[in-house]
Amino acid sequence: MKRIAVMTSGGDAPGMNAAIRAVVRTAISKNIEVFGIRQAYSGLLAGDFERLTNREVSGILQRGGTILQTARNDEFKTPQGQRRGLRRLNEQGIEGLVVIGGDGSLRGALTLHKLGFPVVGIPGSIDNDIWGTNMSIGVDTALNTILDALDRLRDTASSHERAFLIEVMGRNCGYLALMGGILGGSEVMMLPEKDMELEEVAAALEDAYLRGKNHAIAVIAEGSKHKIYDVQKYLESHNVGFEVRVTILGHIQRGGSPTAFDRLLATRMGVRAVELLTEGVCGVMVGLDGREMSGVPLEDVTSKVRSVNPEYFHMAEVLSR
Ligand code: ADP
Ligand code: F6P
Residue 262 has pLDDT above 90, yes or no: yes
Strand duo 49-52 + 162-168: pairing: unpaired
Question: CA angle 273-278-282, nearest 5°?
Answer: 60
Q: How far is the CA of 196 from the centre of ligand 2 (A)?
A: 23
Q: Which residues line ligand 1 (CB under 6 A)?
A: 9-11, 41, 72-73, 76-77, 101-105, 107-108, 111, 125
Q: Which atom of ligand 2 is nearest to the CA of 72?
A: 15
Q: What was the pLDDT predicted at 319?
A: 87
Residues whose CB falls within 8 Å of the CB of residue 253, separated by 6 or more in sequence, listed in order? 126, 142, 145, 146, 168, 169, 176
Evaluate whether the domain defined by 3-138+258-303 bears CATH number 3.60.70.12. Answer: no
Q: How far is the CA of 109 from the centre of ligand 1 (A)?
A: 9
Q: How far is the CA of 55 from the centre of ligand 2 (A)?
A: 31
Evaluate whether the domain defined by 140-254 bears CATH number 2.40.50.100. Answer: no
Confidence of residue 192 (pLDDT cuts 50, 70, 90): very high
- Nearest C-alpha to atom 15 of ligand 1 is from which residue? 73
Q: How far is the CA of 270 from the centre of ligand 1 (A)?
A: 20
Q: What was the pLDDT predicted at 136?
A: 98
Tell me the C-alpha distance between 14 and 64, whole Å. 4
Confidence of residue 178 (pLDDT cuts 50, 70, 90): very high
- Nearest C-alpha to atom 10 of ligand 2 is from which residue? 11
Q: How far is the CA of 316 from the centre of ligand 2 (A)?
A: 25
Strand duo 216-221 + 162-168: pairing: parallel
Rounded to two decimals, the pTM is 0.96
- Nearest C-alpha to atom 8 of ligand 2 is from which residue? 171
Residues 234-246 have pLDDT tens digits of 999 999 999 999 9
Residues whose CB falls within 8 Å of the CB of residue 266, separated by 6 or more in sequence, listed in order? 15, 16, 17, 18, 19, 22, 122, 124, 137, 258
Confidence of residue 318 (pLDDT cuts 50, 70, 90): confident
| Best probe residue, ligand 2, of 171, 176, 248, 252 (max atoms within 8 Å of C-beta) | 171
Tell me the C-alpha distance between 119 and 111, whole Å. 10
Residues whose CB falls within 8 Å of the CB of residue 74, separated by 6 or more in sequence, listed in order? none
SS in 3 state form for the chain?
CCEEEEEEECCCCCCHHHHHHHHHHHHHHCCCEEEEECCHHHHHHHCCEEEECCCCCCCCCCCCCCCCCCCCCCHHHCHHHHHHHHHHHHHCCCCEEEEEECHHHHHHHHHHHHCCCCEEEEEECCCCCCCCCCCCECHHHHHHHHHHHHHHHHHHHHHHCEEEEEEECCCCCCHHHHHHHHHHCCCEEECCCCCCCHHHHHHHHHHHHHCCCCCEEEEEECCCCCCHHHHHHHHHHCCCCCEEEEEECHHHHHCCCCCHHHHHHHHHHHHHHHHHHHCCCCCEEEEEECCEEEEEEHHHHHHCCCCCCHHHHHHHHHHCC
**Contact criterion met (CB below 8 Å) for 97 and 112:** yes
Q: Which residues line ligand 2 (CB under 6 A)?
A: 11, 102, 125-127, 169-171, 222, 254
Q: Which atom of ligand 1 is nearest to the CA of 302?
A: 23
- Nearest C-alpha to atom 6 of ligand 2 is from which residue? 170
| Best probe residue, ligand 2, of 66, 100, 169 (max atoms within 8 Å of C-beta) | 169
Torsion angles phi and psi, residue 282, rounded to 5: -120, 175
Beta bridge mates, 52? 34
Average pLDDT, rounded, for the chain: 97
Confidence of residue 310 (pLDDT cuts 50, 70, 90): confident
| Best probe residue, ligand 2, of 72, 137, 254 (max atoms within 8 Å of C-beta) | 254
Q: How far is the CA of 12 from the centre of ligand 2 (A)?
A: 8
Q: What was the pLDDT predicted at 231?
A: 98
Strand duo 96-101 + 292-297: pairing: unpaired
Question: CA angle 16-17-18, nearest 5°?
Answer: 90
Domain with CATH 3.40.50.450 in the chain: 3-138+258-303
- Nearest ligand to the CA of 170 is 2
Nearest to 200 by CA among 319, 317, 314: 317
129 in active site: no
**Stretch 119-143: mean pLDDT:** 98
Torsion angles phi and psi, residue 262, rounded to 5: -70, -35
Residue 69 has pLDDT above 80, yes or no: yes
Q: What was the pLDDT predicted at 195?
A: 83
Residues 72-112 have pLDDT tens digits of 999 999 999 999 999 999 999 999 999 999 999 999 999 99
Domain with CATH 3.40.50.460 in the chain: 140-254
Q: What was the pLDDT predicted at 307?
A: 86
Given 12, 127, 140, 262, which residue is catalytic? 127
Residue 8 has pLDDT above 80, yes or no: yes
